[in-house]
Structure 1
Amino acid sequence: MVRKLIALSLKNRLIVLLVSACLLAWGIYSVQQNPIDAIPDLSENQIIVFTEWMGRSPQVIEDQVTYPLVSNLQGIPKIKNIRASSMFGMSFVYIIFEDEVDPYWARTRVLERLNYAQRLLPQNVVPTLGPDGTGVGHVFWYHFETKGMDLGEQRALQDWYVKFALQTVPGVAEVASFGGFEKQYQLVLDPLKMQYYKVSMMEVMQAVKTSNNDVGGRKFEMSDRAYIVRGLGYVKNIKDIENIAIKNYNSVPVKVSDIGSVQMGGDLRLGIFDANGEGEVVGGIVVMRYGENADKVIEAVKAKMKEVEKGLPEGVTFKTSYDRSELIEKAIDSVKGTLIEEMIAVSVVILLFLFHWRSALIILIQLPISVAVGFILLEAFGISSNIMSLTGIALAIGVVVDDGIVMVENAYRGLSERQEEKGTIQ
C-alpha cells in the first residue's frame, strides 16, 4: 500500500503540490478562525442565577430564596448538578449542564423556569442570570489613574460612562465594576423628633419613594394651542429630599429636614481594591463571551478604550491591571520561533551532510504544511489554540523534523545506491 502511494505521488507531482498548497491555505484560514486564548477552558458548562435581597440573614435567604429556586430548577433537562450558596443579602445558584449542551439553549431553559419560580419568591425579589461567560472569561482588567478625583466620582465615571461604552464591544459579555464608593443619598433620622411628630419609619420611606417621581396630566387647549400638564418631582439634589413633606402635624407639614438630615455617602462595601500597595483604585473587569477569540476581544477593547479616553475628565487615564493578550502573544511567538529555528537548523543539516538543496527544500515545505494540518484539526474538533495545544504543536515540530531528516537521508542514499549499480553516478 505504501509503495503504491509513493509511486502514485511520484507520477502525479503536480497534484501533490496542489494538494499541499490547498492544505497550507486551509491551515492559514483555520489559524485566523480558530479562537486563541492563553489557557484552555476546562470550566464546567454552568449557568449562574444571582438574587439580591439586601438586609436579610443567610438563613432567611436560604429558606425564602435559595430553596424555592433550587427545587424548581431541578426539572430542567440535561442538567448534571445544581449547587447553591446563601450569604448575607445574596443568593447564588449554579446550574451545571452536560458538556455537549449549547450554553444559550441552557440559558433559555433556565429563564423559562425562573418565570415560573418568580411567584414563589418574596415581593420585589427578582433573580437574574449571570453573564454568558466562563470561569476563565476574565481576559482584561483596568483601573483609573487620576489626580485629585475622589473614589465616589471615579466609581460614578466607571458605572455611567466607561462601562456602558466597553459593553458595546463585540465579544464582551459584561464589564464588572470594582472599587470606590457607589453614591447614594442617606437619611439620618432623629428618633426623638420622629416620636414628637408621630412619624414612623415606613411613612418616611413611602414619602421619599412616592415623591421621587414625575407624573403626567392631561392636555388642555388655549388660543389654538395644546398644552400638556406634567408634575416634575425627580430628586436632583439634597435640598429636594429635605423639602419632601411626610405628613401634617397640627395642620403643619412635617418635612424630612424636620426629623433628620440628608447627606451624600457611599453604599456598604464588602472589600476594597488596592494597586501595588499605593492606595485604592477604581476600575473594571472585562468578561468575554463563550467561544470568542480572546486576542481579538482584547484588541477591540483596547481600541474602544482609546476612544473613551478622549471623553474622560482632565487628568484621568486608563491603567492596565491584567492583560491576557501578552501571554497569548508570547505563546504564539514561541511557536513561530520554534518553527523558524527548526527550519533553519534542518536546512543547514541537510546542506552540510548531503550537499543537496532539493532535499532541504522538501523539509522546508513539509514543516509549515504539518503545522497547518494541526490547526485544521484544531478548528475541526472545536479546540481553541492555547498554551497547551500550541506547546504540543511546538514539540511535534521536532518529531516532524527528525522524521523528515531520516526519510530524506534514506531516500537520498537509496537513489545513490541505485545510481551506482547502473553506473550513472553524477
Structure 2
Amino acid sequence: MSDILDELRWRGLVAQTTDEAALRQALADGPITFYCGFDPTAPSLHMGNLVQLIAMRHLQRAGHRALCLVGGSTGLIGDPKATAERQLNDPSVVADWVARIQRQVRPFLDFEGDNPATMVNNLDWTAPISALEFLRDIGKHFRVNTMIRKDAVAARLASEDGISYTEFSYQILQGLDYLQLFRQFGCTLQTGGTDQWGNLTAGVDLIHRAEHASVHLLTTPLITKADGTKFGKTESGTVWLDPSMMSPYAFYQFWVNADDASVISYLKVFTDRTRDEVAALEQEVAERPFARQAQRTLAADVTTLVHGSGATASVEAASSALFGRGALAELDAGTLADATAELARAKVSPGSSVVEAFVDAGLAPSRGAARRTIDEGGAYVNNVKVVDPDAVFAADQLLHGRFAVLRRGKKSLAAAVADVS
C-alpha cells in the first residue's frame, strides 16, 4: 500500500493533492476508504470518466476501500460549466441514467472479493433533507466569497447570463457528499479530475468546519494530445464507453490512431502494462514506429478493459479483414456494419457497375480513372481483385445481403451498401 502513490504518479494519474506528505502517510498506514463520484448527465460515461475508474482500480488493488458514487441528486443539478447554464433533465431520465451508469462501472471494480467496493447514490441522503435543514445544517458552513472564486462560477458571474442559484449550489451538494461518506464510512480521500478541484475542496472545507477533521484530495490530470489540446473528443463526438453510443470498432480505432508522441503516456494511464513492458514498447516506437506495436497494444488493452476480450477479438479480425488479411465473409453483420460505418459509401444493388461504385464512393475521380485502376490491378471488392472493367455486383458479393468492401490499392477503403430504399 505504501507504494501506490508512487505508482499513480509514474502512471501520470496525480495532478494535485491537498497535502502529499500526509496523504502518503495515510496510504502507508491504511487501508483507507476513498470515493469518486460520477454524475449521470448523460446515459453513458466517457473517456474522461475512464481515467477516474482506472485510478480507483489501482487504489482498490492496493488494498484501499472503494466507494463508487453515482449522483442521483447532483445529476439533477449538473456541475456548472464555464460557458452556459446546463439543461435540467427530467428526474425519470436521471434515474434511468443512474441505473445505467451503476451497471457500467461494476466491471471496473471488485464488488465481490475480500475488499469489495460499495455503490452509493447521493439521492439517498439528500432527498430526505428539508430546505431549512439544508440551509441551517450545511449552508451555514459555506462562505459566499469563497464560492464565487471557483473558476466556473467566476466565469459565469462575469458573463451576461450569470449563473442560477441552482448551479451555484452544486458545490454545496458535492461537499455534503464527502461529509456524509466521512460520517457513514470513515471516508478520508476523494479522487476526481483536476478540473473539479474547486468543487472537491468544498467537501474538505465542510468536513473541517463541521467535524474539525482533516481529509484528503487527489486529482488526476486532464489527458491531452501531444500538442496540449484537450483529449477525449473525436471528430464525431465524445469517446463514450457504452457500445450502443460508440461501437467497439470505433473505440478501438480511436486508440490505435494515437500518435507516437502520446502513445506511451496513454499506455501508462489506461493500461496495466508494467514499467518493463512500457519501456519495451517505448523502444519499439523509437526503432520501428511503422509497426505501431505500441498503438495496437494500447487499443487492444483498453478495448478489452471496456468491452471485453470477445469484442477485441472481433474488432481485430475486422481490422485485418478490411485490409485483406482476413476473411470478410466470416465477420458478423454487426461487426461489419461497425467497421464500415465511417467509410465513404456508394449505394449499389445486384447488377450495378463496380466502376460506378468506385466513382460514387470517391475511390476514383472518374469512370475512366476507375477503369485504369482495374486494368492496373489495384481494385478489389471484398479483398478479391477486380479484373473486368465491366464487372457488376453479384448478389453473393453483398455480405449479409447488404455490404461489400471496396479497396483501391493497399489502404484506400470504401463501402458499397445495398440500396434498400
Q: Which has the higher strand share?
A: 1
Higher relative contact order (CA 8 A, sep 6+): 1
TM (norm. structure 1) is 0.19
Structure with higher Rg: it is 1
